[in-house]
């Protein structure tokens, strides 16, 4: 058996040792210290030696964890500018009004969160008073990602600043009347205040990283110099368990995003209890961030701890702090000095002696109150250190007490996230603690009053002066009065109107060709932001590599293996393409940053993000809601779409439902174009609506979802006549009739209307021919470019009728007078075409690809799902037979003929 005490082999054993004797002397010195002074002293010396080596630039692995103490010693803290007493009064007013707002709202049953802001108040106040740059100065200001549960504190500050009034505070979480405040940071609901949605949790940190990265992209490409903007993301320690929270940490360090700071409020509690009951979340986060290449600043203990650390000559205190689990730290917050003496100090003889030197008041001050995140000068020092660090992003781990200043009933209690109100007595205790001039007589009928020192009070003037010096109010969102982008030349779109002749072209390729033409436009071409998650070659985009370049802050430090080829892999510091690797979530975060640059930076950018349709909405639909909330604009392109177009990949790759998910998002305009000219028409109209001259009543704050296909098919010319472009944009137009298709059904032949979308139009056209030639049925074919937009128009028409306005849905107007029943076909589940069923006056039925996808040929898959041309014929005959327009025997005959 292996001796467990023996020295284990090391990777250093593989390297030649030029002086084994010197190596042995160093090892012997370490052994001697260990024997003479103990293992803790030896470990301390080793850590200090590694710190010195790192400081001297020696290439050594970094320590992933440091002791459970502050990174910045008290003696090294910079002097905080400003008036500390004044800022304390401002913070007290904000604490009071945040708690009052939620408590008053509880009477209406709307709830809210009190404890989070109570723990994080100084983390925000120091930023607002000293660091966060506003939008009225040079550049774009800073970008603030506010923790969602802390929103009451931000509203309270805006109230003190005069940007909100009491009525609005009383409408917290009561928005229906139009004068309310949203529960969390929602730009769509409060677009003058909030810039970035941060709930659902986890999306904020991911978006913050890509926002900081996009800032660098804008600067590097010469669109706008935003090098002075800093991204601040305020997060909870429990939130860091969301996979999105840490998904892009290495991107931030790899690209040296020192324009980014995470501030993690480590109050050790999540929604139901401790974040790491039996472990230490701060140490875990430190190791994760250090391992990912971030600069880590820990601000754990307040000034009251300085005396204890000075007494810790043996290191026993630091060791004990490191070993006590978080849940026990939380318990100390609620227990008396005797308990802490016995449980914390009684575990080590050295600590027992230390405890004899300090009184109960000092113990309670340290364990109940004194945390790094609650002392403004320590938060200030951490922020200064973050901004001073270059070459990597910084994370600040600030330890706080959840529910701080709210009283013993709140502080560190497991249930405090669900506690929505304080009693009058608790408010009075809070008032006394914060020393606020609020009298008992102001509590009328048990209702807690809001507090405000007056518009001309010193606190308000100080707050406003600090913000003016930093560039205006924050947070704040600005929609700049941007001139509409000039429309690209018509020839870029018109070239698709003539069709592809005898050449088969997939609609994916048609879209890429369109973009290649649009990015060449001299006026708007540079504003396109192509985003792709490592599938550019799948979508035929490799031709864009050498012409546009792939963005990289390092450029291209190597010779690409395909440099001798025409379409070689080209990276550049001013590259236009964002090729993100295998991360749909990261690509969506890119898209969100680019799609909202018109507000964040006053620069209209036109992102298009192309992805496997199955791995877009299904994986990142939550980010699509975030995109809609943030009022983003751009084009999402679901490629290899449909349940039967991607051969061989199987169940996980076969998309039969992305339009269903897209239909749930009010900001998403979802299209399933069949032909290249339809794509061109939709993109042209999208550019007009989002970036050009939107018509009155049109909301430009939308984004488009286009499904495209990798199946090469003939692309027909755009039909002539009036209304085709309108029909493409609104969702439905007649592509042909049996007669215009050159088919000659018999006189008085039964007639049916076939509606097809996307790739299904081709099976529908084949079915049209079979119906005419083999069954004597005349079929007209319609292209349904958007079932969802047809439904939305119809819903608006219904709402108009309830208001007493006469309005006919577009789908009904389009099909008015069309003879026979309607059969709708798509490559998606039937729920997609069935969206319009109730507004179609004719008899209506549908075919779709319901169920799980399968691996097989396209033809076999379509036969399996019953959507191929022959299946359409049988379904059409069955529909006509029910109406008595063909013999029932024809249906049975057709099934047998086609082997169905």
Residue 40 in this model has a pLDDT that exceeds 80: no
Bigger pLDDT: 675 or 3? 675
Residue 663 in this model has a pLDDT that exceeds 80: yes
pLDDT tier for residue 646 given thresholds of 50, 70 and 90: confident
How does pLDDT run across 312-327, given as a tens digit for each residue? Answer: 999 999 999 999 999 9
How does pLDDT run across 498-557, given as a tens digit for each residue? Answer: 999 989 999 999 999 999 999 999 999 999 999 999 888 989 899 999 999 999 999 999
CA distances from 270 to 273, 281, 301, 328 (A): 6, 11, 20, 15
User: Of 518, 539, 540, 538, nearest to 529 (Cα)?
Assistant: 518
How does pLDDT run across 689-710, given as a tens digit for each residue? Answer: 999 988 898 999 999 999 999 9
How many Å apart are CA 627 and CA 633, to the nearest integer?
8
Residue 721 in this model has a pLDDT that exceeds 60: yes
pLDDT tier for residue 17 given thresholds of 50, 70 and 90: confident
Residue 812 has a pLDDT of: 97
CA distances from 110 to 98, 155, 171, 174, 404 (A): 15, 16, 10, 8, 23
Produce one character per residue of 880-889: b if its CB has 16 or more CB atoms within 10 Å, e if not: bbeeebbeee
Q: What percent of the chain has pLDDT over 70?
A: 97
Containing 298, the helix (H) or strand (E) segment is: strand 295-299
How many Å apart are CA 253 and CA 628, to the nearest integer?
29
Containing 425, the helix (H) or strand (E) segment is: helix 424-434
How does pLDDT run across 332-344, given as a tens digit for each residue? Answer: 999 999 999 999 9
Residue 6 has a pLDDT of: 53
Residue 1 has a pLDDT of: 45
3-class state of residue 769 by DSSP: helix
How does pLDDT run across 842-871, given as a tens digit for each residue? Answer: 999 999 999 999 999 999 999 999 999 999
Residue 2 in this model has a pLDDT that exceeds 50: no
Strand 231-236 versus strand 260-266 pairing type: parallel
Burial group, residue 20, by CB count within 10 angstroms (0-12, 13-18, 19+): exposed
Residue 355 in this model has a pLDDT that exceeds 80: yes
- Helix count (H) and strand count (E) of the chain? 34, 20
Pair 852, 831: CB distance under 8 Å: no
Pair 376, 131: CB distance under 8 Å: no
How many Å apart are CA 216 and CA 757, to the nearest integer?
40
How many Å apart are CA 499 and CA 438, to the nearest integer?
76
How many Å apart are CA 250 and CA 257, to the nearest integer?
10
How many Å apart are CA 510 and CA 507, to the nearest integer?
5
User: Of 733, 624, 619, 621, nearest to 673 (Cα)?
Assistant: 733
Residue 279 in this model has a pLDDT that exceeds 60: yes
Residue 272 has a pLDDT of: 86
Joined together, the tokens standing for residue 82 give 């400003």
Q: What percent of the chain has pLDDT over 90?
A: 83
Residue 577 in this model has a pLDDT that exceeds 80: yes
pLDDT tier for residue 7 given thresholds of 50, 70 and 90: low
How does pLDDT run across 140-159, given as a tens digit for each residue? Answer: 999 999 999 999 999 999 99
User: Of 253, 200, 204, nearest to 233 (Cα)?
Assistant: 204
Pair 135, 141: CB distance under 8 Å: yes
How many Å apart are CA 281 and CA 292, to the nearest integer?
16
Residue 4 has a pLDDT of: 47
How many Å apart are CA 717 and CA 803, to the nearest integer?
42
Query: Mean per-residue pLDDT for 723-732?
Result: 97
Containing 262, the helix (H) or strand (E) segment is: strand 260-266
Residue-averaged pLDDT of the chain: 94
Residue 778 has a pLDDT of: 96
pLDDT tier for residue 416 given thresholds of 50, 70 and 90: low
How does pLDDT run across 80-103, given as a tens digit for each residue? Answer: 999 999 999 999 999 999 999 999
DSSP-assigned beta bridge partners for residue 671: 706
How does pLDDT run across 371-405, given as a tens digit for each residue? Answer: 999 999 999 999 999 999 999 999 999 999 999 99
| Angle between helical axes of 84-106 and 458-469 (0-180°, round to 10) | 100
Residue 415 has a pLDDT of: 63
Q: What's the number of CA atoms in the CB half-sphere (13 Å) around residue 740?
A: 11
Residue 486 has a pLDDT of: 93
How does pLDDT run across 444-501, given as a tens digit for each residue? Answer: 998 999 999 999 999 999 999 999 999 999 999 998 778 899 999 999 999 999 999 9
């Amino acid at each position: 058996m292996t001796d467990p005490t023996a020295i284990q082999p090391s990777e250093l054993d593989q390297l030649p040792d030029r002086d084994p004797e010197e190596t042995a002397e160093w090892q012997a010195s370490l052994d001697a210290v260990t024997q003479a002074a103990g293992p803790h002293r030896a470990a301390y010396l080793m850590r200090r030696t590694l710190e010195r080596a790192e400081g001297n630039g020696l290439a050594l692995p970094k320590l992933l964890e440091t002791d459970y103490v502050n990174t910045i010693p008290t003696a090294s803290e910079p002097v905080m500018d400003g008036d500390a007493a004044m800022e304390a009064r401002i913070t007290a007013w904000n604490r009071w009004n945040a708690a009052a707002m939620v408590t008053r709202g509880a009477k209406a049953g709307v709830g809210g969160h009190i404890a989070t802001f109570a723990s994080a108040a100084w983390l925000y106040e120091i930023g607002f008073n000293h660091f966060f740059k506003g939008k009225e100065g040079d550049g774009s200001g800073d970008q603030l990602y506010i923790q969602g549960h802390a929103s009451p504190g931000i509203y309270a500050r805006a109230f003190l600043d005069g940007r909100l009034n009491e009525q609005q505070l009383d409408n917290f979480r009561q928005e229906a009347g139009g004068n309310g405040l949203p529960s969390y940071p929602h730009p769509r609901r409060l677009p003058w205040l909030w810039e970035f949605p941060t709930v659902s949790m986890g999306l904020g940190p991911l978006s913050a990283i890509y926002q900081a990265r996009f800032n660098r992209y804008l600067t590097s490409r010469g669109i706008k110099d935003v090098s002075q903007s800093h991204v601040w993301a305020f997060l909870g320690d429990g939130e860091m368990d969301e996979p999105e929270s840490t998904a892009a940490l290495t991107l931030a360090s790899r690209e040296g995003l020192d324009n980014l700071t995470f501030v993690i409020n480590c109050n050790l509690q999540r929604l139901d209890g401790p974040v790491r009951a039996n472990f230490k979340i701060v140490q875990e986060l430190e190791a994760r961030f250090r391992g990912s290449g971030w600069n880590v600043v820990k601000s754990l203990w307040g000034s009251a701890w300085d005396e204890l650390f000075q007494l810790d000559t043996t290191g026993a205190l630091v060791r004990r702090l490191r070993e006590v689990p978080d849940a026990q730290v939380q318990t100390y917050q609620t227990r008396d000095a005797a308990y802490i003496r016995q449980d914390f100090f009684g575990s080590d003889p050295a600590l027992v002696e230390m405890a004899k030197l300090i009184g109960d008041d000092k113990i309670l001050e340290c364990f109940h109150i004194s945390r790094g995140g609650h002392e403004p000068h320590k938060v200030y020092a951490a922020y200064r250190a973050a901004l001073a660090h270059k070459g990597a992003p910084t994370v600040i781990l600030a330890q706080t007490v959840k529910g701080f200043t709210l009283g013993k009933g709140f502080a560190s209690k497991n249930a405090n996230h669900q506690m929505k109100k304080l009693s009058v007595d608790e408010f009075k205790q809070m008032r006394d603690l914060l020393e606020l001039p609020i009298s008992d007589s102001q509590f009328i009928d048990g209702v807690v009053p809001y507090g405000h020192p007056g518009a001309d009070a010193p606190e308000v003037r100080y707050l406003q002066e600090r913000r003016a010096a930093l560039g205006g109010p924050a947070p704040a969102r600005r929609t700049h009065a941007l001139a509409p982008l000039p429309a690209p030349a018509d020839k870029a779109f018109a070239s698709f109107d003539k069709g592809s002749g005898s050449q088969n072209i997939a609609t994916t390729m048609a879209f890429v060709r369109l973009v290649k033409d649009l990015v060449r436009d001299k006026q708007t071409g540079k504003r396109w932001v192509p985003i792709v998650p490592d599938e550019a070659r799948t979508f035929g985009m490799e031709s864009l590599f050498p012409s546009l370049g792939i963005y990289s802050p390092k450029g291209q430090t190597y010779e690409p293996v395909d440099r001798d080829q025409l379409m070689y892999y080209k990276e550049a510091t001013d590259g236009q393409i964002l090729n993100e690797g295998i991360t749909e979530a990261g690509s969506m975060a890119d898209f969100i940053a680019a799609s909202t640059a018109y507000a964040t930076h006053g620069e209209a950018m036109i992102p298009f993000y192309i992805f496997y349709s199955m791995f877009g909405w299904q994986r990142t639909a939550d980010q699509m809601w975030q995109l809609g909330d943030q009022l983003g604009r751009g084009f999402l392109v679901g490629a290899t779409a449909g349940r039967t177009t991607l051969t061989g990949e199987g169940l996980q790759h076969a998309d039969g439902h992305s339009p269903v998910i897209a239909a749930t998002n009010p900001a998403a305009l979802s299209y399933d174009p069949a032909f290249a000219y339809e794509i061109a028409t939709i993109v042209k109209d999208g550019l007009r609506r989002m970036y050009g001259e939107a018509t009155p009543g049109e909301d430009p704050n939308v984004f488009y979802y286009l499904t495209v296909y990798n199946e090469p098919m003939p692309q027909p010319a755009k039909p002539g006549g009036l209304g085709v472009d309108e029909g493409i944009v609104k969702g439905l137009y007649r592509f042909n009739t049996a007669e215009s298709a050159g088919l000659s059904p018999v006189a008085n032949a039964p007639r049916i209307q076939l509606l097809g979308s996307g790739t299904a139009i081709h099976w529908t056209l084949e079915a049209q021919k079979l119906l005419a030639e083999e069954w004597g049925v005349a079929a007209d074919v319609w292209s349904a470019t958007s079932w969802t937009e047809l439904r939305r128009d119809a819903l608006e028409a219904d709402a108009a009728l309830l208001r007493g306005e006469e309005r006919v849905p577009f789908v009904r107007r389009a099909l008015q007078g069309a003879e026979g029943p309607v059969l709708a076909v798509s490559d998606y589940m039937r729920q997609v075409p069935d969206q319009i069923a109730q507004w179609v006056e004719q008899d209506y039925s549908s075919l779709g690809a319901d169920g799980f996808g399968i691996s097989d040929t396209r033809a076999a898959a379509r036969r399996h799902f019953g959507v191929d041309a022959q299946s359409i014929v049988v379904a059409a005959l069955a529909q006509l037979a029910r109406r008595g327009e063909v013999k029932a025997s024809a249906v049975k005959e057709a099934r047998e003929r086609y082997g169905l």
